[in-house]
Chain A
């Protein structure tokens, strides 16, 4: 990738300042630094990569236009994740609505790095597809993406207590669905 430039060694705060002046090189540097992380969050939440490119694109576009509301420049990575989680929330809600309309499950099998675990992961995401996004997202962020509970609360833009309650509820429903 053609990301190698002096911006690689700059802090997020400095890049942010340049991005606010519409500096494309700074935008590219921020993308190079954080796109993989954003893609990972999105992929684990959604369970497939059908909309991955679109969500990563939208995340960086929206994050750019909302930069002025970013109080702490050092939290750029977290800000990007918050925007990505919002996008995933909308996507999952759309998918659920579509499923209700068509009375069928959306069958987009997860693309797996290791096909031997495919069955278990497929069953898990099949069960996750039946959960509302507000339960699914904190559960996946906490259990699969391994984010800390306070971080999950920040990413879901809700309180720690609410996040704990939702994760517990999601866990209960998943266990019932998967027969654990």
Chain B
């Protein structure tokens, strides 16, 4: 039925693909390949890793006794004591 068309197509439909075109497409492909963004799975992995690392750092710094004073902390203000507290409360009034 379609013999005439098929014969013509088979005889003529060779791809216009010469060496220079192949080379150009290859170089573009290699360039695109090297700058391809990482896959979504890698992004998820990176974010998960980051979150876990942040939690670990927070836990470690919390358990190290955050209440201990550091040398850079301001000196605590002296508390005023009642006069009768100086002798251990032996003298009343």
Binding site for B on A (CB under 8 A): 1-2, 24, 27-28, 31-32, 35-36, 39-40, 42-44, 47, 49, 52-53, 56-57, 60-61, 64-65, 110-114, 117-118, 120-121, 123-124, 143-144, 146, 171, 174-175, 178, 180
Bound complex: CA A61 to CA B35 (Å) = 11
Contact pattern, B 1-25, Cβ under 8 Å of A = 1, otherwise 0: 1101111111111111101011111
Question: In the bound complex, do residue B10 and residue A146 qualify as a contact, i.e. CB atoms below 8 Å apart?
Answer: yes
A117 to B11, CA, bound (A): 8
Contact B21 A178 (CB under 8 A): no
Minimum C-beta distance from B15 to chain A (A): 4
- If over half of A's interface residues share one DSSP class (helix, strand or loop), that class is named, otherwise mixed; here it is helix
Main secondary structure of the interface of B (DSSP, over half): helix
Q: Are B26 and A35 in contact (CB under 8 A)?
A: yes
State in angstroms the CA–CA spacing of A123 and B29 once bound together: 34
Q: Is B28 an interface residue (CB 8 A)?
A: yes
B19 contacts across to A, CB distance below 8 A: 1
